[in-house]
Amino acid sequence: MDSLLKILNSVDANHPVEVRGLTTEALVYFCTETTKPMCIFLNQNTLEEIMVMLKDRPLKEASFILNKAEEFDVFENFYQKLSNISIQYINTGQKTKLCFVDERLQEAPLFSNIKTRPFLIDSSCEYDSLVSGLEKTSFIQKDFPFDTPGSFYINGGVVDVKPFDTKENYRISFLESDCKIYTVNKDTNTIVAQVQKVALFPKSFEKTISPIDLLQETHIVSKYSSGSLFLGKKPLKHINVNLKVVDFHGFIKKQIKNCFYFNFNSEVGFLYKNNLFLPSWFKEKNISRDIARQRPSIDGAGALIIGSIYVHEDFGLCQFTG
């Protein structure tokens, strides 16, 4: 696999290549491990799969552009929301290492060349200036925290803000002498960490630049289709990797020692030249099974007590009913 990564990292406009036989998981592994920025055009179904795999990555590592992801509203789903945030993030001028784009949008005008100034918030910020600044930056006040991107929620001396261009959610507190800014876990509504300042960009509405025009100078432009990754235009070199999909049960049966674990969400891994590349939960679940096997087993049904709770090797907690 290192040899393929070396090839990937050596690709440029003068050395295009096609890598055949890639699973979606292998594609994501290649892209996240390469040192070069990449823009990958692919079909919507594969794009949505990858969005789930990399949903926990910050936008500077991976952004996603989905077709027909137009407006922020109460009906937008996970995919549309992540796509909209990605577009706004790129419009602020911030860099993204990987950009996965719906192949139908290659030349569609999606981005703006107008640079906007952010609304800066730090410890010197005052409550009235914050609320006024949010409204001037097109943020909308909502009745619930972290409702939609571009919204804010006031709860006494605390203001929760969900920006247009980031997955982060912020809590700005005026309960002390100085303004305090925190990142917040939107699922648990709890503080994650304190930050010194935050820049809130307004929503960008102008669409004049296509993904290919914006990224072709800074990223390796590629296309993924039917298991093949085309790096550069008209590749002259072709590499067949012949990967095999490996699920958890296949992993247990193979018992291959050379295992490498990737840190993105996936249901399956893949096998390449007697090396297994697997999601990290395979390892965690396998350790749990090993621990269960080490527990003393019950010899015969006579040792079981009706109504008692036992740990079954395969099913976990069970109650013996007779």
pLDDT at 8: 64
Q: Is the domain of 107 the same as that of 132?
A: no
For residue 253, the model assigns a pLDDT of 78
What's the confidence (pLDDT) of residue 309? Answer: 62
Q: Output DSSP code: residue 111.
A: B
Return d(Cα 151, Cα 145) in angstroms, integer. 8
Residues 127 and 262 in one domain: no
Query: Is 83 in the same domain as 213?
Result: yes
Tell me, yes or no, whether 13 and 85 share the same domain. yes
Q: Which residue has the higher pLDDT, 300 or 49?
A: 49
Q: Are residues 131 and 107 in the same domain?
A: no
Query: What local confidence, expressed as pLDDT, does residue 39 receive?
Result: 95
Q: Are residues 17 and 153 in the same domain?
A: no
Q: Is residue 297 part of a domain?
A: yes
Total domains, the chain: 3
304, two tokens: 């079981």
Asked whether residue 210 is domain-assigned, the answer is: yes
Write the pLDDT tens digit of every residue in 103-121.
999 999 999 888 888 999 9
Cα gap 311→295, rounded to integer Å: 10
318 lies in some domain? no
Q: Which band of pLDDT confidence, cut at 50, 70 and 90, is reported for residue 187?
A: confident
One domain, residues 106 and 230? yes
Is residue 299's pLDDT more than 60?
no
95 and 216 fall within a common domain: yes
Q: Work out the average pLDDT over 191-220.
A: 93
CA dihedral of residues 270, 276, 279, 282 (deg, nearest 10): 120
Residues 6+ apart with CB under 8 A from 268: 23, 25, 245, 246, 247, 248, 279
Tell me, yes or no, whether 8 and 40 share the same domain: yes
pLDDT for the residue 10:
66
The secondary element (H helix, E strand) that includes residue 152 is strand 151-155
Q: What is the pLDDT of residue 35?
A: 85
Domain containing 69: what range? Answer: 2-113+206-240
Residue 242: CB atoms within 10 A of its CB come to 10
* Confidence at residue 34, expressed as pLDDT on a 0 to 100 scale: 86
How far does CA 78 lie from the centroid of its chain?
11
Residue 308 lies in a domain: no
- Is residue 43 domain-resident? yes
| CA dist list (Å): 242 to 1, 95, 272 | 12, 33, 7
Residues 161 and 256 in one domain: no
Q: Is residue 45 part of a domain?
A: yes
pTM of the model: 0.81
Assess whether 133 and 187 both reside in one domain. yes
pLDDT score of 74 more than 70? no
More confidently predicted of 285 and 122:
122
| Residue 49 and residue 80 in one domain | yes
Collapsing DSSP to helix, strand or coil, 136 comes out as helix
